[in-house]
Structure 1
């Protein structure tokens, strides 16, 4: 149990810091950084991890029903759009708000998806889950309000005027994070649809239980990566940003972005292993620990990188209150599940 808890915390921390290196790339435009990231995290890393870790890899996926490929592919396509919007939101409103609002929305909607797939739970569980969802929603609202106040605070500081103008509207960034979170719940549907077949197929080839998560992520990441390839390919050409890859800092940038890609993918895989170690509590307690660690880490990352240095005490209090609501809401949802 202790090992599972520590692994879940580690996975959450990894997801919470994966985008941090983006702040230290040089000579790259937004399109350069995130196109390279998505290429690595959606194609290169999943393919290598799947081939290495999954016994019977080719047999499992060559025999997978075409209907299942279609269902998982369409849901993962929407998830890909959502994750792409997540990266855009981080660029607009920073790590702390971008992460917490996006993940809060994912939890808010994702907690409702099982009702559509498995039906309503017993009354006591349903009440707990709905209460937890409302608390998470309150956290999203509080953090959104904190972001809007922060934007006004930064506008009052002379040396922040140009930076705030470059980042764009805080309200726009918050909206992008919320819509991205809504679309990203396609991951939950794809996982729910594909897991039964992939679990049985994985087990039949002698794989450990946790390897099922790696198998499920393969079609999800590949399908989700298609939309990102098209999006960034278009914008790299439209903004003539291809030439920015020739920067002298490319080697350093590549290593930073590779770190992002590995951490982004490994966080999911590590959580799957943590859930396996936690046994029956893996999908409830483990999920709460994982998301809580992620949100808290992202908030502290944003504070450390001085995203909130010009924010007023009121904005910071709302931010902390929003985080507290999310943590409490996640725990309540886990108890209900």
Structure 2
């Protein structure tokens, strides 16, 4: 159990810090940095990792069962790509703090409960549900985490309350209501990552193991489909942005090599974060329920602490800082509650042992990446 939580914390740490090297690029506009980042993290890194680590990639994806699952996986992955793009739009309207909190909050709420719902559908409401005490702890932990994220969002609103009304590049006023709506819708679509894992986990699991690979590489195979499919949406979006804003010329700079290297580090950490999460979630029953929330909460917590270290909140009102500290405290407590729920699940009682069978564990371990 402890090992799985450590992997979740490591993944959240990497996801919270992956963007840091982007601060050191030179002569790149925002569209250049993020356009190159998404090309690397969605295409270059997954293809390299899969080619180096997975045996028999061609045989795996030529398997008839995998072929049948691919269309649904691709559609769900593209919806995930749209959700990530909407997140960027939400941040444009309502700022990073509130946009990040609402988006991740929606993802945590839906993504954490989805494995439980899937198990209850497959095995029945009673047999598929966690033991009552554990279920109460899971719901309580998620509720406390979401309360912390709401405090973070409140802190963002208070910090920006005294700022003059902003306009976008077209001279149109930014809309708080539109931004909130976009963030929530984007969070819902981003759970397409989970759906893709649910649809492809079973067929790919059999094919990956049959090709002579260990079980944990199933996540790499599923992520290859998810990243490539979602990357099509992101590549199209940034290609349009770079063209519309005439940013292509900024790639022709003496700093391109060092920028490419810095952004590759970003891409690798972004991808490795998902791998760390997937491995941690595979280590114990109902791991995705607990690990998913810990993973995303750690990411938010690291982002908040990074903002404090870089003095982004120095000029914020005292009420905003108090709300931020309350939010961070709630998230830490919520993670502790979730960890205790997994400790309860690890006890060798007959009631807990009947919650979920080995095959269902394998299926659920593949549902909550992202």
The normalised TM-score by structure 2 is 0.78
Whether 2:66 is the aligned partner of 1:60: answer no
Q: 2-side partners of 1:257 and 1:175: how far apart? A: 30
* Counterpart for residue 192 of structure 1: 198
The answer to whether the 8 Å contact 1:108/1:136 transfers is no
The Cα of 1:288 is off from its aligned counterpart by: 4.4
Equivalent of 2:304 in 262, 279, 299:
299
Change (3 A) 1:302 1:91: farther
Give ranges in structure 2 of 5+ residues lacking alignment: 346-370
Whether 2:247 is the aligned partner of 1:241: answer yes
Change (3 A) 1:281 1:70: closer
The answer to whether the 8 Å contact 2:74/2:226 transfers is yes
The answer to whether the 8 Å contact 1:104/1:326 transfers is no
Q: 1-side partners of 2:244 and 2:14: how far apart? A: 33
Change (3 A) 1:297 1:140: closer
- Please list, as runs of the form range in 1=range in 2, the aligned pairs for 1:1-337 lying within 5 A after superposition: 3-63=3-63, 64-88=65-89, 98-114=99-115, 116-118=117-119, 119=121, 120=125, 121=129, 124=132, 126-153=135-162, 155=163, 169=174, 171=176, 175-276=181-282, 278-280=283-285, 282-330=287-335, 332=337, 335=341
The answer to whether the 8 Å contact 1:34/1:87 transfers is no
Most deviating of 320-329 and 201-210: 320-329
Alpha-carbon RMSD across the aligned residues, in angstroms, is 3.0
- State the Cα deviation string for residues 48-106 of structure 1 (Å, max 9, x = none): 11111111111111225443111111111111112233445567767655544432221
- State the Cα deviation string for residues 264-300 of structure 1 (Å, max 9, x = none): 0011112223334x44364344444433322221111
The Cα of 1:45 is off from its aligned counterpart by: 0.5
Q: 2-side partners of 1:28 and 1:191: how far apart? A: 35
- State the Cα deviation string for residues 127-176 of structure 1 (Å, max 9, x = none): 444444443433333222211111135x3xxxxx79x7679859365554
Change (3 A) 1:280 1:54: same
Change (3 A) 1:112 1:284: closer
Give ranges in structure 1 of 5+ residues lacking alignment: 156-160
Q: 2-side partners of 1:206 and 1:4: how far apart? A: 24
Q: 2-side partners of 1:86 and 1:231: how far apart? A: 13
Q: Secondary structure of the equivalent of 2:215?
A: coil
Change (3 A) 1:102 1:19: farther
Bigger radius of gyration among the two: 2
Q: 2-side partners of 1:214 and 1:57: how far apart? A: 11
Change (3 A) 1:175 1:144: farther
The answer to whether the 8 Å contact 1:50/1:215 transfers is yes
Q: 1-side partners of 2:270 and 2:147: how far apart? A: 27
Most deviating of 109-118 and 195-204: 109-118
Most deviating of 223-232 and 240-249: 240-249
- State the Cα deviation string for residues 156-213 of structure 1 (Å, max 9, x = none): xxxxx79x76798593655544332221111111111111111111111221121111
* Counterpart for residue 158 of structure 1: none
The answer to whether the 8 Å contact 1:96/1:302 transfers is no
The Cα of 1:11 is off from its aligned counterpart by: 1.6
**Larger proportion of helix:** 1
The answer to whether the 8 Å contact 1:32/1:241 transfers is yes
The normalised TM-score by structure 1 is 0.85
Q: Secondary structure of the equivalent of 1:283?
A: helix
